[in-house]
Structure 1
Amino acid sequence: MSILSFFDKQIPGPRTERVRHELKPRTMQVSAIEQLTPGMLRITFTGDDLADFVSLAPDDHVKLFVPTRTGDIARRDYTPRRYDQQAKMLMIDFALHDAGPATRWAMNAKLGDTLQIGGPKGSAVMASKVPRWLLIGDETALPSIGRRIEEATAGTKITSIVVVAGPEERQFFETEADLTTHWAYRPLSVASDPDALLAIVKTIALEPQTFVWVAAEAHVARAVRSCLVEEKGHPKSWLKAGGYWVAGQADAHERLD
């Protein structure tokens, strides 16, 4: 057992408090559209229905209700990238990595268009301060990673490892935290291959009391989790991993911890 693993096993993982929210449908209107990178589209929504919208954790999800080509309504999970309750504003980033109904809607959205959302059902809030974070993910995890980085307070140490299609997909974040960023590159055609992420993960020295958050394609997230737990000996109580999407399956997710 490594010194890191032994030390952290003596300290329980940070306590998480589940805060439930009122479930209600909300209709909002497109007020701004920004092409952040070639593969990431940011849409800002406003509307009176957002007056009581609440999202307390960077990895919350809302359900978007988007029309399909057949006229049906598809439900897709997305991260509230940023919100301002007083301004009745919600920002959502769309990773343009597939041609699903939510992506098509976002790419064709115009100012004034409306969209209905539901949720979030609840927020998993860290009840105790986490001094160090290691955030690992792909394009679909960038909204959560970016929000956590930007909301972090001074004195927090964050390392991020994100895999994207190329240097043009890199994003930059303003934060009070002590931030170190690593970017890995691979074509979207091999987005379920974990090698690009693993090559960097294996070089990272994990300090005691580092909470690791992983989100990517399910196979990739599983491989990264295995590397952290089995090869590096990182305690499971200091890790949360999930498959934000599953290659070849529509609207599929996998929780791995």
Structure 2
Amino acid sequence: MTELVAYCRFQGDAAEALARHLDAKRQHWDAEGFHVCCERSERELCLSLSGAGWRRLALAKARIAGEIRRLPGCATLALTWAGDGDPERLGHVQHWHVTGARLVTPHLRRVTFQVEDAELYAGDLHHIRLLLPQRPGGAFAFPRPCPAGLPVWPEGELMPVLRNYTIRAVRAGSDEVDVDFVLHEPAGPATAWARDCRPGVEIGALGPIGRPVSHAPRRILAGDETALPTILRQIEECPAGERIDAYVELVDDAERQNVTLPQGCRLYWLHRGELVDALRQLGREQNDVTLAYAGTEFSTSRQLSLAFGKDLGLPSTRFRSVAYWRMQGARAA
């Protein structure tokens, strides 16, 4: 177990408030594979982080530093980590190399990557941030760590394009991962890159990021093509004793995928525009639903939030509806 120690000085209530905030998050970080310990004295708060390996330790440093920087009065804190780890590398930023790509459906291309350490992605955090060149065939530079363990990004043409994606599958034994890209027009930087990429091309990936998958006795998952990677991965990794009902709307039937459903999991394919009504029709009789999650277009996401709360009667703590993309021309309310 690698050990790293950071010393942060806070006066009076500031140290106590920070310690309470970090203690409340401890269980969440334990699930990510690192541990946080707060030791307080009259004039000092000492944070001790531990993680199994330097990559998880680097991830811990970035997570905790980001959390501290977002707290009131801490944005400019001079935070420096001392102890173990590689001060010259961001362990949660990996070099990825394309080994293959294929069309899974007419509008979905699966790209397979050889990565440095696939085990880092094998948990319940499914999302990563890809680092791509600004133009096809162009060069980009990887970020370097600052003393707080956060990335310092290059400037100008070497600054990579950053896009969030879901890891569709992880094969830790061979250090391979799959990422599914929805092909659409007009193609953005990530879509254009995925459409044209060839074996041997290198990109970067920062992560895993985002919230971990929440397990529950019965989950409802909903989404469109953009949410399929996390929906299908959750179905495939569904533990015994849990149930998942998934509702996915597609542009047409050609986008359906062959899926082997574990016991207790059901998948309903819908056409575009049918998703909200399908969830509303479930009604409040679905009183055994313990968690609902949706990933869709912006306007659909807002409608699903209402459906989860009003039609299914779920409290806000038991559902989450995320906008994965936004229709061109759509305006914010």
Task: Mark yes or no: TM-score above 0.5.
Answer: yes
CA shift in 2, pair 1:158/1:51, >3 Å: closer
Give identity over the alignment, percent: 29
SS in 1 for 2:287: coil
Report 1:30-45 matches (<5 A). 30-45=98-113
| Higher mean displacement: 64-73 or 21-30 | 64-73
Residue of structure 2 in register with 1:17 after alignment: 28
Quick check: 177-186 or 28-37, which moved more?
Answer: 177-186
Q: Which runs of 5+ in 2 are unaligned?
A: 1-26, 35-55, 60-89, 139-156
Are 1:200 and 2:278 an aligned pair? yes
Check whether the contact 1:28–1:50 (CA below 8 A) recurs between aligned residues: no
Q: For 1:136-170, what per-residue CA distance to the aligned partner results, in whole angstroms no more than 9, with x for missing partners? A: 00111000101000001233221111111100101
Q: How does 1:136-215 map to 2 (within 5 A)?
A: 136-186=222-272, 195-205=273-283, 206-215=286-295
Query: How far apart, CA to CA, are the structure 2 residues paired with 1:86 and 1:44?
Result: 14
Counterpart secondary structure, 1:102: helix
CA contact (8 A) 1:137 1:161 kept: yes
Q: Does 1:75 align with 2:162?
A: yes
CA distance in 1: counterparts of 2:209 and 2:219, whole angstroms? 25
Aligned-partner Cα distance in 2 for 1:183–1:145:
12
Cα pair 1:61 1:119 within 8 Å, conserved: yes
1:91/1:226 CA distance change after superposition, 3 Å? same
What is the aligned-residue RMSD (CA, Å)? Answer: 2.4
Which 5+ residue runs of structure 1 have no aligned equivalent? 1-15, 187-194
Report the CA distance shift for 1:147/1:52 in structure 2 as closer, same or farther (over 3 A): closer
For 1:1-37, what per-residue CA distance to the aligned partner results, in whole angstroms no more than 9, with x for missing partners? xxxxxxxxxxxxxxx8243652532112111212110
TM superposition shift of 1:89: 0.8
TM-score normalized with structure 1 length: 0.78
Shift of 1:183: 1.7
Distance change >3 Å, CA 125–CA 51, structure 1 → 2: closer
Equivalent residue for 2:322?
242
Deviations 1:37-64 (A, max 9, x none): 01111111114x2255334226x31111
Question: Do the aligned residues in 2 keep the contact of 1:153 with 1:176 (CA within 8 Å)?
Answer: no
| Pairing partner for 1:135 from 213, 221, 225 | 221
What number of residue pairs does the alignment pair up? 223
- Answer whether contact 2:118 2:177 (CA < 8 A) is retained: no
- SS, match of residue 247 in structure 1: coil
